[in-house]
Amino acid sequence: MEKIIFYILSAVILSLSLMSVLSRKLLRSAVYLFGVLTAIAGFYFLIGYHFLGAVQLTVYAGGIVVLIIFSILLTHEIDHQMPTPEWSRVAVAGALCVAGAVMFIQLLQGSLFSRVEVPEQSDLNTLGNTLLNPGGGGYLLPFEVVSILLLAVMIGAIVIAKQRHSVDNSSQEKQAP
């Protein structure tokens, strides 16, 4: 049963990501990306990491996709069609990607990962204790660094997207006559 669900999920992930990359309509491409991210959350649920799946759903599918769709709607018309890329660019990029994928999958087939049989203890308690443990093997320092990064990004986004007064005045003067 889990095997069938895994195959369905991977078919959804691969086909939707391909459509998201190939689609010429911008908004449709963002919706396909939403499908890919939701299917990945389903994969995390299937593998047993429920907290990670919930975070993927809320932050990626709920937050990032909404931001991307907002920016698309703010900067384009709703049925904006992108021009098709040139054939030379498509050929070079496609050849590079196919070559890279074939090489990596070839490498994977040759490798033998020894499966470890350890009693699983992937509950939320171990996760939280490891995340906030200042001692050996803990992740308290990266946690704090990420929080400072979030603060810096918040300030930076406000400063970058803020309307400057000089630009504002000149654009209003242009529009006035």
Partner 1 sequence: MIPGVSLIEILTVSTLMFFIGVYGFLTRKNLITILMSLELMLNGAAINFVAFNKYLYPGQPNGQLFALFLIAVAACEVALAIAIVINLYRKIKAVDVEQVNTLKH
Residue list 74-93, contact with partner 1 (CB under 8 A): 74-75, 82, 85, 89-90, 92-93
- Cα angle for residues 55, 59, 62 (degrees, 5° grid): 115
Quick one: 117 or 177, whose CB is closer to partner 1?
Answer: 117
Residue 154 binds to partner 1 (criterion: CB under 8 A) = yes
Candidate residues 8, 54, 101, 140; the one interacting with partner 1 per rule CB under 8 A: 101
Taking residue 45's Cβ as centre, other Cβ atoms within 10 Å add up to: 17
List 81, 126, 169, 170, residue binding partner 1 (CB under 8 A): 126
Please report whether residue 108 would count as binding partner 1 according to CB under 8 A. Answer: yes
Q: Indicate which single residue of 8, 104, 140, 170 sits in contact with partner 1 (rule: CB under 8 A).
A: 104
Residue 25 forms beta bridges with which residues?
81
Identify which of 3, 23, 114, 4 has the alpha carbon closest to the alpha carbon of residue 31.
23
Q: Say whether residue 52 binds partner 1 (CB under 8 A).
A: yes
Residue 145 burial (CB < 10 Å; 0-12/13-18/19+)?
exposed
Residue 37 within binding range of partner 1, rule CB under 8 A: yes
Cα 71–chain centre separation: 16
Q: Does 36 bind partner 1 (CB under 8 A)?
A: yes
